[in-house]
Amino acid sequence: MKIIGTGRANPAKIVTNAMLEEFLDTSDEWIRERTGMTERHVISNEKLEDLAAEAARKAIEDAGITPEDIDYIICSNVVNEYITPGLSCIIQGAIGAKCACVDVNAACSGFIYALDMADDRIKSGKAKTILVVAAEEPTRMVDWKDRSICVLFGDGAGAAVVTEGDALICSRLTTVSKTECLHYVRTLEPTPYITKQEESKPMFMNGREVFKTAVLSSSRDIRTLLDKAGLQPGDIKYYILHQANMRIIESICGQLKLDMSHFPTNVAHYGNTSSASVAILLDELNRDGKLHKGDKLLLSAFGAGFTTGACIIEWTK
CB 297 within 8 A of CB 112: no
Here's the x/- map for ligand COA, 157-196, by CB under 6 A: it reads as ----------------------------------------
Taking the C-alpha atoms of residue 118 and residue 129, their distance in angstroms, rounded to an integer, is 9
**245 catalytic per annotation:** no
Q: What is the smallest separation between the CB atom of 20 and ligand COA, expressed in angstroms?
A: 8
Taking the C-alpha atoms of residue 141 and residue 160, their distance in angstroms, rounded to an integer, is: 25
Active-site choice (89, 101, 108, 150): 108
How many residues at the interface with ligand COA, by CB under 6 A?
A: 20
CA distance 137 to 130: 23
What x-and-dash track marks residues 54-83 binding ligand COA by CB under 6 A?
------------------------------
**3-state class percentages of the chain: helix first, strand second, coil last, to nearest 5:** 40, 25, 35
Any residues with CB less than 8 A from the CB of 248 and at least 6 apart, and which? 211, 214, 215, 218, 241
Residue number of the CB closest to ligand COA reads 207
Q: Which of 30, 82, 144, 204 binds ligand COA (CB under 6 A)?
A: 30
The least distance separating ligand COA from the CB of residue 208, rounded to whole angstroms, comes to 5
Tell me which of 16, 26, 38, 251 binds ligand COA, using CB under 6 A. 26
77 is catalytic: no
Contact 286, 62 (CB under 8 A): yes
Beta-bridge partners for 241: 300
Give, in order, the Cα–Cα distances in Å from 22 to each of 14, 30, 38, 195, 316: 15, 14, 15, 42, 46
Beta-strand pair 168-175/307-314: antiparallel
Residues written for the chain: 317
Nearer CB in complex with ligand COA: 208/292:
208
Contacting ligand COA within 194-253 (CB under 6 A): 205, 207-208, 210-211, 214, 244-245, 248
Q: Could you tell me the smallest distance in angstroms from the CB atom of residue 275 to ligand COA?
A: 9
For residue 85, whether the previous peptide bond is cis, meaning omega lies within 30 degrees of 0, is yes
Buried b (16+ CB within 10 A) or exposed e, 97-125: bebebebbbbbbbbbbbbbbbbbebbeee
Q: Which of 147, 297, 312, 315 binds ligand COA (CB under 6 A)?
A: 147
E-strand spans in 25-155?
Answer: 39-41, 72-76, 100-104, 129-136
In the complex, minimum distance from the CB of residue 207 to ligand COA, in angstroms, rounded to a whole number: 3
| Residue among 129 and 139 whose Cβ is closer to ligand COA | 139
User: 206 or 232, CB closer to ligand COA?
Assistant: 206
Q: Is 75 a catalytic residue?
A: no
Stretch that binds ligand COA, among 60-68, 86-94, 146-154, 255-263 (CB under 6 A): 146-154
Least Å distance, CB 272 to ligand COA, is 5
Among candidate residues 242, 245, 286, 311, the one labeled active-site is 242
Q: Whole-angstrom Cα distance, residue 10 to residue 107?
A: 19
Print the binding letters for residues 265-284 with ligand COA: x by CB under 6 A, - otherwise: -------x------------
Residue 303 binds ligand COA, judged by CB under 6 A: yes
Instruction: State how far the alpha carbon of 79 is from the alpha carbons of 96, 136, 138, 231, 258, in Å.
Output: 23, 7, 8, 37, 35
- Cite the active site residues: 108, 242, 272
Q: Which residues bind ligand COA (CB under 6 A)?
A: 26, 30-31, 34-35, 108, 147-148, 151, 205, 207-208, 210-211, 214, 244-245, 248, 272, 303
